[in-house]
């Protein structure tokens, strides 16, 4: 993990939040490469979930919601983790994290002493309004799900969706995590990507779609290149399921700190819509005109953490190949698709030819430019950044209009005609 954290900082993937002020626990800032990587992941997810499907539509709901929505969804009452406090140094830990508690206890030796577990609400409070005494207390959303649920009726009324259909959303969520840690794995501000998929309220139908989404999501991460042996399903025990879930399965990654959840598939039943109907007084039933029936659908949810997905994609791609550190990211995810170098920075003909290639290619993709130091060092830097291809303009280019294209993973080089470059690279990264 230390190597990943240091690479992320060194290359501009992820920095500690507000670092120059000593940071803010549980927050992270994505740098130039991290932002590109994160956007690529979100765009691929959106393409697969919304663009290529006719049964899912997207929303982008507000982060601040009427606080009643959080009462309805049960978060005010039940969004709690039991917590124990070390009586010696007052550090708090989740009561279910036995290993962390044991490790911490050892620091105090004979003096080790803990409080009984207490409930602790994870919702982050905010205050809205300009006059202090009249400010409205509300919550930053603790999960993005509610933004979809409260728009169920709007979407049914304003689009042509028919059950079964889904609502997709990507956005920020905030939690007062007791013990943020493991880099971005557990943060206080993070992003989620979710589909709430509404189906007829029948166990058989719900089970069918539950199995469908389990496979669909596992296939998504395998197609992105995560190694099969590092992924697994884990079904929740009866006593660990969230308050809303009839059934819950996580997809876990074999992280350096142990198998860890980075997404979940949940059968939420009709819990959310029924509760929002009850608390808002608005009829949220779905009318099936053809079958002449009306019902509150069940919701099969897929909920993934963007940050945890990014973290595990980075961990999985990190490869030490002799002296080289290579991020073997899927080209579709790689921040830069290609880097262009003139062999020598002080040869005008090489620089201007390379510059032209750089300008042409960047019309279609993110392209890096580097003319510093020797070629070997430039390759090393791009390997660490996960750039799949490097193009070098050398003296032969001036004679025969070909360049070298070097492959990140094999380090092999081929010569390609400049006029075929665009097609050649586009084919390789698709």
Within 242-305, residue ranges assigned H as helices are 271-280
Instruction: Using the minimum distance from each CB to ligand ATP, give the nearer residue, 261 or 288.
Output: 261
Tokens of 408: 């990140």
Interface with ligand ATP, residue 307, by CB under 6 A? yes
Q: How many residues bind ligand ATP (CB under 6 A)?
A: 16
Query: At its nearest, how many Å lie between ligand ATP and the CB of residue 305?
Result: 2
Query: At its nearest, how many Å lie between ligand ATP and the CB of residue 114?
Result: 21
Residue closest to ligand ATP, measured at CB: 305
CA dist., res. 185 & res. 168, Å (int): 23
In degrees and rounded to multiples of 5, residue 332 shows phi and psi of -65, -30
Interface with ligand ATP, residue 145, by CB under 6 A? no
Interface with ligand ATP, residue 316, by CB under 6 A? no
Give, for 262, the enclosing helix (H) or strand (E): strand 258-269
Torsion region of 74: left, alpha or beta (phi above 0 gives left; psi -120 to 50 gives alpha): left
Interface with ligand ATP, residue 100, by CB under 6 A? no
The interface with ligand ATP within residues 157-216 (CB under 6 A) comprises 175, 177, 186-187, 190, 192
Closest to 279 measured CA to CA, from 87, 65, 132, 116: 65
- Among 34-42, 221-229, 297-305, 367-375, the segment contacting ligand ATP (CB under 6 A): 297-305
Distance of CA 357 to the CA centre of its chain: 33
Binding mask 252-281 for ligand ATP (x = CB under 6 A): ---------xxxx-----------------
Burial (CB count <10 Å: 0-12, 13-18, 19+), residue 294: exposed
Q: Which residues contact 246 (CB under 8 A, 6 or more apart)?
A: 206, 267, 268, 269
Instruction: Using the minimum distance from each CB to ligand ATP, give the nearer residue, 259 or 395.
Output: 259
Give the pairing of strands 338-342 and 389-393.
Answer: parallel
CA dist., res. 274 & res. 179, Å (int): 33
The interface with ligand ATP within residues 347-366 (CB under 6 A) comprises none
Interface with ligand ATP, residue 143, by CB under 6 A? yes
Instruction: Using the minimum distance from each CB to ligand ATP, give the nearer residue, 143 or 370.
Output: 143
Query: At its nearest, how many Å lie between ligand ATP and the CB of residue 236?
Result: 9
- Among 68-76, 298-306, 396-404, 419-427, the segment contacting ligand ATP (CB under 6 A): 298-306
- Among 13-21, 44-52, 299-307, 352-360, the segment contacting ligand ATP (CB under 6 A): 299-307
Straight-line distance from the first to the last Cα atom of the chain, in angstroms, rounded to the nearest whole number: 30
Q: What angle do CA 250, 302, 318 make, to 5 degrees?
A: 60
Among 75, 308, 337, 408, binds ligand ATP (CB under 6 A): 308
Query: At its nearest, how many Å lie between ligand ATP and the CB of residue 168?
Result: 15
Footprint of ligand ATP (CB under 6 A):
143, 175, 177, 186-187, 190, 192, 261-264, 303-305, 307-308
């Amino acid at each position: 993990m230390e190597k990943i954290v240091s690479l992320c900082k060194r290359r501009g993937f992820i920095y500690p939040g507000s670092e120059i002020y000593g940071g803010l626990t549980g927050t992270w800032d994505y740098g130039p490469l991290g932002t590109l990587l994160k956007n690529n992941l979100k765009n691929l997810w959106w393409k697969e979930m919304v663009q290529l499907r006719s049964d899912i539509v997207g929303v982008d709901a507000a982060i601040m919601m009427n606080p009643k929505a959080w009462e309805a969804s049960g978060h005010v009452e039940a969004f709690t983790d039991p917590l124990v406090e070390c009586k010696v140094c007052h550090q708090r830990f989740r009561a279910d994290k036995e290993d962390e508690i044991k490790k911490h206890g050892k620091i105090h030796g004979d003096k080790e002493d803990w409080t009984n577990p207490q409930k602790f609400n994870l919702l982050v409070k905010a205050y809205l309004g300009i006059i202090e005494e009249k400010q409205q207390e509300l919550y930053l959303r603790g999960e993005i799900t509610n933004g979809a649920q409260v728009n169920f009726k709007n979407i049914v009324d304003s689009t042509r969706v028919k059950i079964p259909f889904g609502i997709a959303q990507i956005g920020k969520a905030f939690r007062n995590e007791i013990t943020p840690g493991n880099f971005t794995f557990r943060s206080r501000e993070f992003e989620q990507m979710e589909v709430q998929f509404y189906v007829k309220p029948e166990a058989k139908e719900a089970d069918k779609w539950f199995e469908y989404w389990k496979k669909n999501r596992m296939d998504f991460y395998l197609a992105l290149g995560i190694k099969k042996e590092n992924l697994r399903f884990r079904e929740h025990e009866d006593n660990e399921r969230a308050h809303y879930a009839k059934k819950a399965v996580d997809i876990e990654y074999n992280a350096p700190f142990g198998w860890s959840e980075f997404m979940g598939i949940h059968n939420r039943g009709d819990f959310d819509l029924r509760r929002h109907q009850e608390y808002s007084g608005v009829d949220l039933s779905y009318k099936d005109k053809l079958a002449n029936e009306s019902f509150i659908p069940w919701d099969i949810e897929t909920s993934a953490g963007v940050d945890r997905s990014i973290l595990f994609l980075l961990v999985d791609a990190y490869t030490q190949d002799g002296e080289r550190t290579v991020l073997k990211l899927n080209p579709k995810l790689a921040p830069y698709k290609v880097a262009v170098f003139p062999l020598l920075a002080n040869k005008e003909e090489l620089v201007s030819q390379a510059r032209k290639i750089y300008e042409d290619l960047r019309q279609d993709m993110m392209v890096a430019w580097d003319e510093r130091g020797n070629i070997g060092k430039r390759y090393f830097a791009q390997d660490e950044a996960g750039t799949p291809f490097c193009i070098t303009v050398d003296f032969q280019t001036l004679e025969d209009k070909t360049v070298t294209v070097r492959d990140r993973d094999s380090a092999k080089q081929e010569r390609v005609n400049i006029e075929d470059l665009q097609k050649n690279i586009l084919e390789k990264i698709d």
